[in-house]
Structure 1
């Protein structure tokens, strides 16, 4: 929101989320959603405390006309979390958001690259070795772009061929290095023993998530998360165990990983329809 106004009760709520190790991006999303809700109510001060269930429903109905159901669901989740906080603090006696229902979830299959498309990207001429390392880590390890940005030299264990990854909510997991990527990384980190893994060649400072996105877009013409989707899809295509892929991705729930099985199932069906003489 361009003219963001700091609302004390919202700031207190965000402070609690920050103490629970919510990411800066999550905090900004919560702030935006709640400020938008307050604007809809017509007040930036006491009105959120006095909002009625029908007002919350009206806001969700209004948002549903303007945005994708997934966006509206996120905004309602923010509001529900906010009112649970108000209840916990004893600031309200009833939760007006409790029975408000979100619009039906429209689940879309994640976009991924084919193995051939991945090879074409890596056959590009890279302006510097660091840029190749960035794309290799995204695809070979299935990292989130934020996880890549946080990596340090000391997170890499060449002896065990592992990488320590700090995921969502500061949860750590271990990623495994293949021989080829290990060789590339050894050449890349040879002269730098510690500090950020992907850094500015000019200042030596850690590259921001935004800058990393720009690098990926420049070479691959897509967003970084597509490499993560491709990692999972190609692993399952080649017979990897679903729970193993869950662990490698750092998903808390197996159901989150299962969406990739829909991709592989769809491709199997397509192959069947194309190949079998009586499939059509």
Structure 2
């Protein structure tokens, strides 16, 4: 049954986004990517006098991707755009907004094949030693930063998973943490003793200080008699105070993704080598170090929360690349 729209492409896109938001199972990041990509498509089509959904054909889609390539957009961005529009046109075809599915014949460009950045074991140790030296001052932000990086590397988790962890998700006896991954899939991942020690220090000496800052900023509750029911804090008050969050920002609220990026960028800033300096670097590094150490590929897949083994296999390429470099520099007949 067709969605009730007025026939305009912009209305069809809005209806599609409402559909994927209501369907569940997709991360907020994926929905935002759909919205951004399809908004670009609507603008491109409008500039060419195409406003009706029914006029969206294969040639328009090809021109849109070609124009993105001509502007120098990254191959990965163009591939994501291609994926977004294929999902949209399939939905539009299934709901009767399009007679056929033009996106089914659209071919995404192959990625450039860049390997993720991986830092060496010695470099990880240097980063963590530097953070530990700062944490020895008992500065609450330094205690938090050490625990953040230790957990990113130890558990190989995504930054979105890290900031979503609550205190009760951490089992310090079993050395495991429960995280919510892509598509709302929950998994329990292990971490090591150094990460546990950093978490203990943060929870004991750092988090209470930042939580107190949030409490100081919250308005004082009205005086009530002992028999009066206590007011239930609003969701906004809980968010402002950090609530049950494991990691808190400097103002006492739940630590955000941007803040983690800043922490990691500072930690990796002095290391030699090019490449991204975001939290995913520690995830890539942990996966590669596990495989270098003899871990089973499927075990690493489970740890990372990858739905497909093929996604995890990129780390075997990283390990092979490192092996080739060692061979080239060390073997006398390389």
TM over 0.5: yes
Q: Distance in 1 between matches of 2:297 and 2:80?
A: 27
Q: Does the C-alpha gap of structure 1 residues 257 and 140 become closer, same or farther in structure 2, counting only changes over 3 Å?
A: same
- Cα distance, 1:201 vs structure 2: 4.1
- Choose the corresponding residue for 1:53, options 50, 58, 73: 58
Q: Which moved more, 1:119-128 or 1:27-36?
A: 119-128
- Cα distance, 1:206 vs structure 2: 0.8
Conservation of the 8 A alpha-carbon contact between 2:150 and 2:194 = no
- Residues 147-226 of structure 1 aligned to structure 2 (within 5 Å): 147-190=161-204, 195-202=244-251, 204-221=252-269, 222-226=277-281
- 1:140 and 2:154 correspond: yes
SS at match of 1:97: helix
Q: Which has the larger radius of gyration?
A: 2
Conservation of the 8 A alpha-carbon contact between 1:138 and 1:148 = yes
- Cα distance, 1:152 vs structure 2: 0.5
Q: Distance in 1 between matches of 2:268 and 2:54?
A: 47
Q: Does the C-alpha gap of structure 1 residues 104 and 183 become closer, same or farther in structure 2, counting only changes over 3 Å?
A: closer
- Choose the corresponding residue for 1:39, options 24, 27, 43: 43
Q: Which moved more, 1:192-201 or 1:178-187?
A: 192-201
- 1:253 and 2:308 correspond: yes
Q: Distance in 1 between matches of 2:170 and 2:150?
A: 14
Q: Distance in 2 between matches of 1:22 and 1:8?
A: 21
Q: Distance in 2 between matches of 1:173 and 1:155?
A: 11
Q: Distance in 2 between matches of 1:218 and 1:14?
A: 37
Q: What runs of 5+ residues in structure 1 fail to find an aligned partner?
A: 1-5
Aligned position for 1:14:
17
- Cα distance, 1:122 vs structure 2: 1.4
Aligned position for 2:294:
239
Q: Which moved more, 1:184-193 or 1:222-231?
A: 184-193
SS at match of 1:128: helix
Aligned position for 1:63:
68
- Choose the corresponding residue for 2:79, options 63, 73, 76: 73
Q: Distance in 2 between matches of 1:62 and 1:201?
A: 43
SS at match of 1:151: coil
Count of residues in correspondence between the two structures = 273
Q: Which moved more, 1:37-46 or 1:134-143?
A: 37-46
SS at match of 2:200: helix
Conservation of the 8 A alpha-carbon contact between 2:150 and 2:198 = no
Conservation of the 8 A alpha-carbon contact between 2:54 and 2:99 = no
- Choose the corresponding residue for 1:268, options 320, 323, 326: 323
RMSD: 2.2
Q: Distance in 1 between matches of 2:287 and 2:172?
A: 24
Q: Distance in 1 between matches of 2:266 and 2:330?
A: 37
Q: Distance in 1 between matches of 2:330 and 2:197?
A: 40
Q: Which moved more, 1:178-187 or 1:133-142?
A: 178-187
Q: Which moved more, 1:257-266 or 1:143-152?
A: 257-266
- Cα distance, 1:150 vs structure 2: 0.4
| TM-score, length of structure 1 as denominator length | 0.90
Q: Distance in 2 between matches of 1:137 and 1:131?
A: 10
Give CA-to-partner distance per residue, 1:217-245, whole Å, 9 cap, x none. Answer: 12223211111111111111111111111
Conservation of the 8 A alpha-carbon contact between 2:147 and 2:198 = yes
Q: Distance in 1 between matches of 2:288 and 2:253?
A: 33
Q: Which moved more, 1:186-195 or 1:99-108?
A: 186-195
SS at match of 2:179: strand
